Structure 1
């Protein structure tokens, strides 16, 4: 998977080798790929607060 920014709104984490691809979009972690549906935070960085915002 090519290195680029996560497709989750408000997330600035890079999509690495453990990234998740869903419906043609690339996410840095499962939480972002699931659009934080269970309220879980971003697993890539404790300083990333993209899960705190409603999507």
Structure 2
């Protein structure tokens, strides 16, 4: 799901460690949680959560 969010531009791509693993900051973790919440709550398609301007 995280890759999908990155590919669609819902969240910015995370930095990568030398090993290739994603390296998330506290801000990234918050954005990911908020995005997952918005996706689960936007049942009517209104897009109310999406005015964050994170792109």
TM-score under structure 2 length normalisation: 0.26
Of structures 1 and 2, the one with the larger relative CO (CA 8 A, separation 6+) is 2
Which structure shows the higher helix fraction? 2
TM-score by structure 1 length? 0.26
Structure with the bigger percentage of strand:
1
